[in-house]
Amino acid sequence: MSQRTFPDGFLWGAATAAHQIEGSPMADGAGPSIWTRFAHTPGMTLNGDTGDVACDHYRRWKDDVKLMRELGLQAYRFSVSWSRIHPEGTGRVNQAGVDFYSRLVDELLENGIEPLLTLYHWDLPAALEDRGGWLNRDSADWFAEYGSTMYRALDGRVKKWVTLNEPWVITDGGYLHGALAPGHRSKYETPIASHNLMRAHGAAVKAYRDIGKHEIGLVVNIEPKYPASDSAEDTAATKRAHAYMNEQYLDPALLGRYPPELKEIFGDAWPDWAAADLELIRQQLDFIGINYYTRSVTQANDSYPLKAGAVRQPLGTYTETGWEVYPKGLTDLLVWVKERYGDIPMYITENGAAFFDPPVAEGGRVRDPLRMDYLQKHIGAVHDAIQAGCDIRGYMLWSLLDNLEWSLGYSKRFGMVHVNYGTQERTPKDSARWYSKVIASHGASL
Ligand SMILES: N#[N+]C[C@@H]1[C@@H](O)[C@H](O)[C@@H](O)[C@@H]2O[C@H]12
């Protein structure tokens, strides 16, 4: 393979999220989030795992930034816990919470690492859930208020902002299937929560334009859907699945409309949204963040309400989370984004895999060849998309650290750095050492 060259300024980094690594969820005046509440509800998470300690990053943040510098990271994507900033969700500001993230940002900058800040990575203040959460249309104002607090505190030091992380997972997991906080199971609530999340996205971007002077975008998890056969049923099912996961958020954000398949999927549960709502949602964005993990070979089935589902590939390689390793899907997806939405700049804001890692060997080594192979092939797929004309500005590996995988608890390890949850010792895996070389060579060593 000829040497791969990445664009000048292409940012190499890693990503995490507050609830998954910080621990100390109620420290220094913070309020509870829906994940604090959900994880402490018996039966909601594997082994009853909670974010009470996680990777103890709330206390070990300075050492973690030192580790990022040692690995040569150029950027670090993290999220802010809303309920550390506004313990009741709105109104009173908890300055100790703002100060935590201000110190973190300063430490990143002092170590030559660019911060990418995600405002919402699933941890809604519990106080707002008690007021209806994302089912309440006021949530757009709540979110814009919270975003404005953070813009005023950090804009200028933070120059790349993200409003929402993966609205599809928030609603499919938290409102339709109940696997994620707040654990609702309603075909009728799902479109309402989804729409209000996007209204909140729009309101937060509008607020940013009045306060901020840099860049703001949206992060979506999308995956290419390939029909399992050329039958009419599988073709139609693939179209529905594509609209439901891939177009449902990017279309309103970038085109100001929803794909028509959503009315077909949700039927009488899909309201006729007001045009003013779509105008609010469609705000000029500076970039789109793409979280990519896998593809879906899709067939028609009797699943509710989508009537479509993935077919396991007999010759496929699968990760610990049951996702097929399919790098070409990332290239196909990025080209699709460019073709459908134009030349909007993109970042790969998450890409990575959980594999069964061996314990830390003598001398502090963690051999993770499957993860290295996954990363090498997927970063190569990003390069292929760049060669195809996609404007991709960076790659954030998921994840910096092994961390709390939501309802799956600590059972899945996505980190390039191993975390011993008993001692909190961090040990860079072989993949971290390999990634450091990729960064140092700007991709040439891939
Ligand atoms: N599962 N999994 C790994 C990873 C999850 O840990 C992140 O929080 C999400 O943004 C996204 O789902 C991807």
* Cα–Cα distance, 77 to 360 (Å, whole number): 26
CA of 232 to the centre of ligand 1 (A): 33
| ipTM of this complex prediction, to 2 decimal places | 0.98
CA of 151 to the centre of ligand 1 (A): 25
Asked if residues 104 and 66 have their Cβ atoms less than 8 Å apart, the reply is: no
CA of 183 to the centre of ligand 1 (A): 17
Ligand 1 atom at shortest distance from the alpha carbon of 221: 11
Most informative mutation of 401, 405, 410, 411 for ligand 1 (most atoms within 8 A of CB): 405
Ligand 1 atom at shortest distance from the alpha carbon of 403: 6
Name the residue with the closest Cα to ligand 1, atom 3.
Answer: 405
CA of 414 to the centre of ligand 1 (A): 9
Name the residue with the closest Cα to ligand 1, atom 6.
Answer: 405
Ligand 1 atom at shortest distance from the alpha carbon of 122: 8
Most informative mutation of 77, 168, 291 for ligand 1 (most atoms within 8 A of CB): 291
- The binding-site residues of ligand 1, defined as CB within 6 angstroms of any ligand atom, are 17, 20, 165-166, 221, 291, 321, 350, 398, 405, 414
- β partners of residue 365: 361
Mind listing the pLDDT tens digit of every residue in the chain (446 residues)?
Answer: 567 889 999 999 999 999 999 999 999 999 999 999 999 999 999 999 999 999 999 999 999 999 999 999 999 999 999 999 999 999 999 999 999 999 999 999 999 999 999 999 999 999 999 999 999 999 999 999 999 999 999 999 999 999 999 999 999 999 999 999 999 999 999 999 999 999 999 999 999 999 999 999 999 999 999 999 999 999 999 999 999 999 999 999 999 999 999 999 999 999 999 999 999 999 999 999 999 999 999 999 999 999 999 999 999 999 999 999 999 999 999 999 999 999 999 999 999 999 999 999 988 999 999 999 999 999 999 999 999 999 999 999 999 999 999 999 999 999 999 999 999 999 999 999 999 999 999 999 99
Whole-prediction pTM value? 0.98
Ligand 1 atom at shortest distance from the alpha carbon of 414: 3
Active-site annotation, residues: 166, 350
